[in-house]
Amino acid sequence: MATTITITGAGGQIGYALLFRIAAGDMLGHGEKVRLRLLEIPQGLKGAEGAALELQDGAFDLLESVEVTDDAATGFDGCNVALLVGARPRGPGMERGDLLAANAGIFGPQGRAIADRAASDVRVTVVGNPANTNALIAAASADGVPADRFSALTRLDENRARAQLAAVLDAPVASIRRVPIWGNHSATQFPDVTHATVEGRPVLDALAERVGDVRTWLEGTFIPRVAKRGAEIIEVRGSSSVASAANATIEHTRDWVAGTSDWTSAGVVSRGEYGVPEGLVSSFPVRSVDGQWQIVEGLELDEWARGRIDASVAELVDERDTVRALGVL
Ligand SMILES: NC(=O)c1ccc[n+]([C@@H]2O[C@H](COP(=O)([O-])OP(=O)(O)OC[C@H]3O[C@@H](n4cnc5c(N)ncnc54)[C@H](O)[C@@H]3O)[C@@H](O)[C@H]2O)c1
């Protein structure tokens, strides 16, 4: 049996960086056949059709079929994994409320189509921004699908945080563990090094030897660098993060399906953990066990960390309230 994977926005940049790696087995494993459904809006169909031609030319052993459509019911029919990448970007003169409203108009109907058409084991990774609130809208619109089948991508932020630590500590990135992202995938996010280790040793101790006052470095250098890395990439590359975002999407979904041996980060629906209001999609330290995200509980948070998390969660509350005022939730 092949796994059916629906990718929205498949004709866009992240879509193009995702498709070939998925077809090569990087997401679900090199023994798993895949069927791809590329869901686009009419203006994006040509891009998706072109990618489908190239997928054909890739002659991937694992790729059973590729279907391109602009019809959500067809796109999500029988899907086991959905990657919701397509979203409405902020246009000139668009306020935040307009952006949330435009995306509610995408993620609400997609949530409903998933409820109507997807397979009973569907898992939905939301990438399109504002990812946390888009996931909240999709989950709330998908009647009958458990809310824990929706999660939002914050793995790119975690990868960025681990890479920054590896650079300053002059250590391999693989040796940096337990750097969860809390809150929103936005500039308010909190990349948390409190429990992080480098080669098994506390990162905080290693940082103290390298950067002087650690809190000053975290506040003045590390957190802004991680939180604004997307803008830095745009400035240097002249275009937004694409391959790194696709890589994080693949890692997030792979870990969700296959399980983790240690913590990672994902935006998941809160059940009140760490005082995050129930129902919000907030990033937490998580593990994946038996195909389900589990929030790592019982971590001590000092006043500073608490304040940072509260600020990011307040932004999520504000986004939810804006969407509620539109009558979406
Ligand atoms: N969560 C993260 O860490 C993260 C990281 C990077 C980018 N992103 C977000 O990912 C999204 C995609 O980025 P990109 O660079 O691929 O953008 P892009 O503009 O290149 O591609 C987006 C594609 O989505 C399509 N689309 C728009 N509305 C759609 C709909 N209703 N149904 C299906 N397809 C639709 C467009 O036609 C377009 O082809 C953006 O919202 C971006 O902000 C998130």
pTM: 0.98
Q: What is the pLDDT of residues 163-222, one digit of tens each?
A: 999 999 999 999 999 999 999 999 999 999 999 999 999 999 999 999 999 999 999 999
Relative to beta strand 264-269, strand 176-177 is unpaired
Tracing tokens 């997609």 back to the chain, one arrives at: 110
- Catalytic residue check, 195: no
Q: Using CA atoms, how far apart are residues 202 and 260, in angstroms rounded to an integer?
A: 21
302 — pLDDT class (breaks 50, 70, 90): very high
116: CB partners within 8 A, 6+ apart? 73, 76
Residue having the nearest C-alpha atom to atom 11 of ligand 1 = 128
Domains within the chain, CATH numbers bracketed: 3-152 (3.40.50.720), 155-320 (3.90.110.10)
Relative to beta strand 81-84, strand 63-69 is unpaired
Instruction: Please determine, for residue 1, whether its predicted confidence score (pLDDT) is greater than 90.
Output: no
Q: Using CA atoms, how far apart are residues 49 and 273, in angstroms rounded to an integer?
A: 43
Which of 7, 14, 141 best tests ligand 1's pocket when mutated (most atoms within 8 Å of CB)?
14
**Which whole number is the average pLDDT over 89-112?**
92
CA of 246 to the centre of ligand 1 (A): 11
Query: How big is the chain, counted in residues?
Result: 329
Task: Using CB atoms within 10 Å of the CB of residue 1, give its burial: 0 to 12 exposed, 13 to 18 middle, 19+ buried.
Answer: exposed
CA of 128 to the centre of ligand 1 (A): 5
Instruction: Classify 19 as helix, strand or coil.
Output: helix
Looking at this protein, which amino acid is placed at residue 67? E
Instruction: Please determine, for residue 53, whether its predicted confidence score (pLDDT) is greater than 90.
Output: yes
